[in-house]
Amino acid sequence: MTFGQFIKQKRQQSKFSQQRLADACGFAHRSAILRLEQDRLEWKLKEVVSIAELFGVSASQLLAEFENFKVNATKVV
């Protein structure tokens, strides 16, 4: 899973629209979030920080959660 896919999953679980994330990041259109979620646009630190704040965590917590998710997703039980 890519970081964009992870953010999409978190966004959907939080019931946030792409427009809400776009507004938090200062984008004029939700299409920027769509491109980020599809990994067609490179993430910038300010966007990670803005989205983390929207989710109520720090950027480092969000990135750690992503890393933890990747590790757990690859474990075979």
Q: What is the pTM of this model?
A: 0.83
The runs of H, that is alpha helices, within the chain are 3-13, 18-25, 31-37, 45-55, 59-74
Q: Identify the pLDDT of residue 33.
A: 96
Residues 52-64: tens digit of each pLDDT: 999 999 999 999 9
Pick the CATH number of 3-74 from 3.40.718.10, 1.10.260.40, 1.10.10.10, 3.30.2020.10: 1.10.260.40
Q: Identify the pLDDT of residue 75.
A: 62
Tokens read off for 15: 């019931």
Residues 2-45: tens digit of each pLDDT: 999 999 999 999 999 999 999 999 999 999 999 999 999 999 99
